[in-house]
Each structure stands twice: as structure tokens, then as C-alpha cells.
Structure 1
Amino acid sequence: MTTAQPAYREVVDDNGRVYRVGETDRDILGRSRVWMVWLPWIAMMAISSSEYAFTSAEDTLVGAHGWESGHIFWLLGLWVFFQAAVAFPAGKMRESGALSAKAGMMIGACGSLLGYLSLAYSPTVWIAYLGFGFFGGTGAGVVYATCVNMVGKWYPERKGGKTGFVNGGFAYGSVPFIFLFTSYLDVSNYTWLLTVIGFFLAGLVAFTGMFFKDPPKNWWPAHVDPLTASNDPRIARALKKNPPAKKQYTPMEAVKTGILPLMWFVLLCTAGINIFGIAMQVPFGKEMGFAGGIVALAMSLKAIINGTGRGVIGWISDRFGRRETLILVCVVLGLSQYAVFLSGSIGSMPLFLMASMVSGFGGGAIFPLFAAMTADYFGENNNASNYGLVYSSKVISGLVGAGLGSVVVSNWGYGTAFTIAGTVGIVCAFLSLLLRQPQLKGSERTTTPTDRPESKDREATASLALD
């Protein structure tokens, strides 16, 4: 039996960028593309506890294994290091076809499980560094990179809100585990509890990954004409504020524009502030005299707002522009660091909770903004690699925010540490003014509709033999 595949056309805009149109999401997936929002969202929630809830288990892990408390912050820093370090090589493998989305998710599930098992059974802290830091961080990084880039490929015309929603799962998915680790995890039950949690979360990642599928290169939704203004006001507004990239940049081309290195540096600084807050807020709250339940509540609110804020900020950036939104977020992130320290210093619980939520909002919003901005500036085809380069800055920010942050606190106190973090956030707001979509040089406009008129209306049909 022979079944004809849907016809598609490749259209070319004035800059020479090619769009593949004509195929619907159901033609490719067999179902609505919204599945490529919900499934990555669930997987992102499943890996979030390793970063956002980990320090909530500090007392239990230190007491059970006899580790020094300083190891907890360096364990988190190493986890973040490998979670970010794997983004670029994983992206290159995904784009070359060497690593499918499904295979990436299975690798991520195994790494996540090994991370939890190492915390439960490590005979020495160095095994924990290997299991949780390397395997757990690497597995989470592969899942993160796969999920964030997947949704951007399926929603190229309005990616901000969708990317933010999926990215948000990486934060508020940890909330149940923050309370669980703070209130119920202890030296009498940590082994079996961490084991059960590890298998459950790894199973979620593996199950969702079974349904992952990428769209074809240059794919564009059939109901949206990339060459004319859309009749849908939401799509038209999003494309006006955040127009598609002028071309599909390779990683080296993106680096040469100078814009990607600047994005890398701004993300390094802002992510470092976010990780510093994650690592230090629990011990800071306890030192300021707040009860453990209040500290857990503050951390949970931080994670909830961190996650929900990612979806909201993505929607806002669709309406008002990615760069303008990023500037506002950097200001909020910086000012909130001063507020967290001030509220703790004066012992104001309501202000501490409020400042924690605002800090969580700013810390979370930066990631979907940079994910969507990378695709807006450099195109979707190489977005896994390009965003992997930008996101690799978290390799340094994790060690600085968690590890070096603890050194600053030990030597100069929380006041100095929070002041530095807040000031860096304000500086990033000014640096963000320099971000803009790269413009093509004359020599780069190699293909236009008039240069290749046949591409304006080229149809490709194929038949598939089914036995």
C-alpha cells in the first residue's frame, strides 16, 4: 500500500531565509503540537528537584553521611556545572542526528536516577560528586536542552510564552520536594525515600521522552504565512516585536556577530545571582532566626514564582519585546537581592517572603528570555547549539553562585554577598541595552525570491511504501 505524504513548499523571504510551509503539526506528529508543550513541561518538572530542592536536604545529608556542610554547596555547584556544560555538545549531536530526542531523554532519565542513588548510598562524598554532580547534572542538562529547544521548534511564530511555560516547570516542579526534604527527610528514612523519588522522577522523564519528535528543518506552521502579516493579532504583534532571525546562523557565525558573547556574559551574571539565591536563602533565613517552616515556605514561594514567572515573562516578551523585558527583569533581580538581605536583617517575615518571591521571579525569568531571544536572533535550525553556547555560561555561574558565594559569606558575611549580587543585577540591565538582532551584511544576502524564483513555489511530494 502506498500513502502520499502531504505536500510542502519552501518559500524564501527578502533576506534569503527559507521557510518550509504546507505541513500541519498533525501531518508530522499525528496529533496536535501542543503535546510538544505538555510533555517537555512534565519532564522539566521531573528534573527540577535536583537544583531547587537540594539544599533543603542539607541537614539530613550532612548528618547521615558525616559530610562537612560546605560540600553541599560545592555539590550543587558541580551539578549546575555539568548541567550547563552538556548543553552545547548535546545540541550539536541533536542537530547532526547523532542523538535523537528520545535517546536524549533516556540518557537524562538514567543520569537523574544515578544522581539520587548516589545521594542515598554514597560511602564517601567523592562518590556523591561523581554520581550527583557529574551523572545527575549531565542527565538533567540533556533533558533541559532537549525540552527547551523542542518547544521553540514547534512554535517558531510565537515562542515566548510557550518556551516560558515549559521552562517554568524546571522551578515549581521542585516545590513538593522542598517541603518533603525540609519536613520529612531524616537520617532514619533518607535511603529508601531518595531511592523511591529517584525511580519515580526518572520514570517520568523516560515516559515523556518516548513521544518526543522534532519537526523538519525550516518548518513553519501551515496556517501562518511567514512572508505576510498574520490576521491573528497575537501572532502579528509577537512577530512585529520579535521578528524572525534574518538567517539561520551557525554557532561560529553567531559568535562572530558579537551579540552571542554578550548574551553569554549577561546570562553568566544573572544566572549566578539566581543560583546564589537558591544556595544561600535557606541558611541565611535560618541564621536570621526564622523557623524552619518559614524558610521552607520562603524557598517554596521562590520556586513557585520562579517557575510561573517564566511563563508570564514569556507572554510579556511576546507583547513588548524580548530585550525590553530582559532589562526590566535584570533591574528586578538586582533590587530584590538588597530586599532579601534587608528583610532578614530586620527580622521581618512578611518582607522576607515577599522579597524571596520577587527574587524568584527575576531569577527564573532570565532563562526563557534568553532561550527565545537566541532563536529570534540566530534562527531555529541551529538553536540547540546556539542556545547551548549561551547556556554554557551557567558552567561558571553555578560555581560562582553556589561555591564562591559560600566563600564570600564565610569571609565577609551575607551583607557583602547580597550587595554584590544586587549590584551585578543592575549592571546587567545596562549591558542588556546593547543587545539587538544581528543585521545581514550585503554579502550575506545570497538568496532572494528573485534570485531563486523556483524556491518560491517549489512543491515536494513523496510516497511511503507500507508493507
Structure 2
Amino acid sequence: MTTTDVLTSVSCREVTDRNGRVYRIGESDRDIMGRPRWTMVLFPWIGMMGISSAEYAFASAEDTLHTAHHWNSQHIFWMLGVWVFFQAAVAFPAGKMRENGTLPARWAMVLGAVGTLMGYLSLAYAPHVIVAYIGFGAFSGMGAGLVYATCVNMVGKWYPERRGGKTGFVNGGFAYGSVPFVFLFTQYMDLSNFRGVLLGVGLFLSLVVAVSGWFFKDPPKNWWPEQVDPLKPPNDPRARRSLEKNPPAVKQYTPKEAWQTGRVALMWFCLLCTSGVNIFGIAFQVDYGDEAGFAGGIVATAMSLKAIVNGTGRGVIGWLSDRHGRKQCLIFVCIVLGLAQYGIIWSGEMGSLPLFLIFSSISGFGGGAIFPMFAAMTADYFGENNNASNYGMVYSSKLVSGLLGSGVGAMVVGAWGHVGAFTLAGSISLFAGFVAVFLHPPGRPRLRHIAPNPQPISREVM
């Protein structure tokens, strides 16, 4: 054992487990930022709610935008696809800049707030649909991508021993933050007030994003909470069970090393399938409800339930994954999401409103729960130090899934009708569940366990 003495205001050490992974211990959350780490769950959660309406409430504004600007429905659905494309495209470069220090967390959030405002301004005042594609699709999408990547990776760094539930809770803000705006856009906004409504919403949400982001702070590299010994089973039963089911990565993988394991490609494909199904449901469930003869207000209620369950499901499945394992919960979610698409068809064909609401909610649960699974699983497999970049690679599947779920989805609906399109969506999700069976953390034997390092190496650091 070697020890190096340095001058530091807070005593901390670096210890190395038998796999060679380094942990920085001895510093509390209050030592680092002067407040408890649960604030790094609260503020990212608020920030995520600030960007949620652009994706989850956008379809609710379709009729008004279509009439007010004379944009056809194909343009509007492709606009959402472009938004998702840019939201995903910014994840990897933003992650690299976050990790090398060129883009601090709070400034990433400020840029995200600017993009959010530009999106709503373009929807309100765009003189041509191309301007809306640029303002809402590109700039608002990139702004949302900055916020999403920053918030999700922030909470994972502060809770390395119990990240599933916390990541899921923060991720949930991306869905149920849109609930009041679904009703606002469907029940209140019309041709006489749409510009004022969109401007007011844009100003409010951009302020929410900027203010919440101003309190962000990253922990040091390799940081581990002082009350948890990374070389021994924790005393806290919640942390102990979580680490048994989801042991920390054997090393801090760079993006290149993570890609070479083959796991990133599998995760990318699974997320491509499931997020495409989720986006398809967001874009076309309102249309299918109208076709089935349900009243517009009821369809809005269904979308709100979908958003609420979508967001709540992220937290619930994150908590369950801490107890039962990420992979097991991911497979379960893929199956639930797939079967829910068949249920939506069944309820629509029967004309049963209660079943439509139930299966819409179940679809929302599955569609939301996939994202915290992949976010937490990426850190579990490849470590926290490069998680923003590594998750950016996985999340980049939305570059394709957004266009498939919204734009190509519109083409499939036009060719096969809603029944054929929802049937295809359900089948794709079930296939993603089959692919997820082959996921396994790199560098670990099939029997997953945590064992203490019999000869830990320790040294004091700044």
C-alpha cells in the first residue's frame, strides 16, 4: 500500500479494486458543493420538465398549426422527426465537450434554454414552414438535446451506487412536464390566440431551464459517496441490493473502448426500435383516437395519461431495476411496449374508450421506461467518467428513430392504415426485447457478483 501526502482542505483518497478501477472516496456531497446531493436530482428533474412539451405536447398543437400556417400534416409530422433528430445528434458532441471541460453544465443548460425559446417563437411567427423546420426542428431540438444529456448524466454521477431510481425520476420529467400543455394546446389555444400562447409558453419554459441549470455542479472524476465503501458490500440494504444486481463497470471505458465491446451497438439497436415505437405512438395516437370516433377532449385526456404514466413509469422502472437488474427490466419493458400497441388496435376496433385509455397508459409506461434503463445501463457497463459520451453514442439511435417513428410512420399509416402501422410497431418492440437478451456487462463473468478487493491500493489526492 502506498500513500502520498498532499495539502487539501478535505481529506480524500483514491482506492483501486481488484479489477483496477479507481474510486475517489472521503468527500461528502456537502464538501464538494455545499449542499446535499438530492438537489442534483431536483434541479435536473425541473430542467427536464422544461423541455418535455416540445416532444410530448407537439402533436396536440397540430390542428391549430395546420390551419394557422397552412402547413400540411406531413410537414408537421416530419418537423417532429427533425426535432428528435437534432435532439439526439447533439448528445455525443455535447458529452465530449462536457467531459473535457469546454462546456460547463450550467452553460449547456443556458444554451438549451435559448433553443427552447427559439423553437416556440418559430412555431408562432414563422413566415414559411422552412423557418419552422430550422427554428423548432433544429435549434429547439439541439437545445433539448443539451438539456437532456446534461440532466441525465448529472444525476448518474452523483448516485453511482443507486442510479436506477434517481435516473428514472429525473428522466420522468421529460414526459409529465408536458401534461398541462397538452390540455392548453388542445382545449384553449386556437387561431385567435396561438401566437400569444406559444410565446408565453416559450418564455416560461426557457426560464425554467435556465434557472434550474444555474445550480448544476459535477462531482470530481471517480467520486464515490463517503458513506459507501466501494470495496465492501454497503450497509445500506438498498445500495447493497442495487450493486449486487447492477455491479459497477470493471473500468472507465473510453467511447472507443466501449464501442469495441459490441455492447454499444446492441444497445443502440434496441433503443432505435423502442424509441421509434414510442415516438410513433406520440405522433399518431391522437389521429387514431379521432378515427376511432373518440371525442377530441377524450383523446387529449388519453395523451395526458400517456404522458403521466410515461414519466411515472421511468421512475418506477428505475427503482425496480435497482432491485431486480437493468437487463431483466429492459426485456420486460420491451414486451410491455409491444403488447400495448396491439391493445391500442384492439380498443380502437372495438370502439372501447376505457380500453383505449388503459392501453394508451400502458404504452406510455413502456415508451418512457426504456430511456432510464439505457441511461443507467450505459454507466453500469462503461463507468461514469465518460458516460456523457458513451450514452451519447447509444442515444444517437434517436437520429434514426425520430425520423422512422414520425416521418416514415406517417407514410406507413398512409399505406397500411393505423391498424397496420400499430401492428408493425408492436412487432418491432417485441423483437427489441429478444435482442436485449444478448446484453451483458463487458469484462464480467456470467455469474455477476461484487467481491471486496483483498489488497486495495490507497493514496490521498487533492
Place the TM-score, normalised by the shorter chain, in its bin. Answer: over 0.9
- Offset from partner CA, 1:258-293 (integer Å, 9 cap, x none): 011000000000000000000000111011110001
- Offset from partner CA, 1:192-247 (integer Å, 9 cap, x none): 11001100000011101111000000000000000000111111000000000000
Alignment partner of 1:252 is 2:253: no
Query: 1:155 is matched with which residue?
Result: 159
Query: 1:116 is matched with which residue?
Result: 120
Query: 2:171 is matched with which residue?
Result: 167
Q: CA RMSD of the aligned region, Å?
A: 1.4
SS at match of 2:441: coil
8 A Cα contact 1:55 1:282, kept in partner: yes
8 A Cα contact 1:260 1:390, kept in partner: yes
* Deviation of the 1:460 alpha carbon: 2.6
* Deviation of the 1:405 alpha carbon: 0.5
Query: 2:457 is matched with which residue?
Result: 456
Counterpart amino acid of residue 100 in structure 2: S
Counterpart amino acid of residue 57 in structure 2: A
Instruction: Report the Cα distance in structure 2 between the residues aligned to 1:210 and 1:145, rounded to whole angstroms.
Output: 16
Counterpart amino acid of residue 169 in structure 1: G
- Offset from partner CA, 1:41-75 (integer Å, 9 cap, x none): 00100100000000100110011111111111001
8 A Cα contact 2:11 2:460, kept in partner: yes
Instruction: Report the Cα distance in structure 1 between the residues aligned to 2:444 and 2:50, rounded to whole angstroms.
Output: 41
Instruction: Report the Cα distance in structure 2 between the residues aligned to 1:38 and 1:422, rounded to whole angstroms.
Output: 34
Alignment partner of 1:143 is 2:144: no
Instruction: Tell me which of 64, 68, 73 is aligned to 2:72.
Output: 68
Alignment of 1:368-407 (within 5 A): 368-407=372-411
Instruction: Report the Cα distance in structure 1 between the residues aligned to 2:411 and 2:453, rounded to whole angstroms.
Output: 58
* Deviation of the 1:440 alpha carbon: 6.5
TM-score, normalised with respect to structure 1: 0.95
Structure 1 segments (4+ residues) deviating >3 Å: none
Counterpart amino acid of residue 457 in structure 1: S
Instruction: Tell me which of 340, 360, 369 is aligned to 1:356.
Output: 360
Alignment of 1:430-449 (within 5 A): 430-439=434-443
8 A Cα contact 1:248 1:382, kept in partner: yes
SS at match of 1:48: helix
Instruction: Report the Cα distance in structure 1 between the residues aligned to 2:424 and 2:29, rounded to whole angstroms.
Output: 47
Query: 1:86 is matched with which residue?
Result: 90
Instruction: Tell me which of 316, 341, 364 is aligned to 2:320.
Output: 316
8 A Cα contact 1:16 1:449, kept in partner: no
- Offset from partner CA, 1:135-191 (integer Å, 9 cap, x none): 000000000000000000000000000000000000000000000000001110011
Instruction: Report the Cα distance in structure 1 between the residues aligned to 2:443 and 2:461, rounded to whole angstroms.
Output: 31
Query: 2:4 is matched with which residue?
Result: none
Instruction: Report the Cα distance in structure 2 between the residues aligned to 1:439 and 1:69, rounded to whole angstroms.
Output: 49
SS at match of 1:458: strand
Counterpart amino acid of residue 457 in structure 2: K
* Deviation of the 1:424 alpha carbon: 0.8
Instruction: Report the Cα distance in structure 2 between the residues aligned to 1:339 and 1:322, rounded to whole angstroms.
Output: 25
* Deviation of the 1:457 alpha carbon: 2.5
SS at match of 2:23: strand
Query: 1:326 is matched with which residue?
Result: 330
Alignment partner of 1:41 is 2:64: no
Instruction: Report the Cα distance in structure 1 between the residues aligned to 2:258 and 2:29, rounded to whole angstroms.
Output: 29
* Deviation of the 1:456 alpha carbon: 2.2
Instruction: Report the Cα distance in structure 1 between the residues aligned to 2:208 and 2:244, rounded to whole angstroms.
Output: 38
The size of the alignment, in residue pairs, is 450
SS at match of 2:118: helix
8 A Cα contact 2:231 2:453, kept in partner: no
8 A Cα contact 1:449 1:456, kept in partner: no
Alignment of 1:402-421 (within 5 A): 402-421=406-425
Instruction: Tell me which of 82, 107, 113 is aligned to 1:103.
Output: 107
Runs of 5+ unmatched residues, structure 2: 1-6, 446-451
Counterpart amino acid of residue 256 in structure 2: M
Instruction: Report the Cα distance in structure 1 between the residues aligned to 2:163 and 2:74, rounded to whole angstroms.
Output: 40
Instruction: Tell me which of 29, 35, 60 is aligned to 2:33.
Output: 29
Instruction: Tell me which of 56, 59, 72 is aligned to 1:55.
Output: 59
Alignment partner of 1:5 is 2:9: yes
Runs of 5+ unmatched residues, structure 1: 442-447, 462-467
Instruction: Report the Cα distance in structure 2 between the residues aligned to 1:458 and 1:126, rounded to whole angstroms.
Output: 58
Counterpart amino acid of residue 89 in structure 2: A
Instruction: Report the Cα distance in structure 2 between the residues aligned to 1:234 and 1:449, rounded to whole angstroms.
Output: 21
* Deviation of the 1:449 alpha carbon: 7.7
Instruction: Report the Cα distance in structure 1 between the residues aligned to 2:248 and 2:293, rounded to whole angstroms.
Output: 51
Instruction: Tell me which of 212, 216, 222 is aligned to 2:216.
Output: 212
Alignment partner of 1:17 is 2:21: yes
Instruction: Report the Cα distance in structure 2 between the residues aligned to 1:440 and 1:41, rounded to whole angstroms.
Output: 32
Instruction: Report the Cα distance in structure 1 between the residues aligned to 2:105 and 2:298, rounded to whole angstroms.
Output: 40
Alignment partner of 1:340 is 2:344: yes
TM-score, normalised with respect to structure 2: 0.96
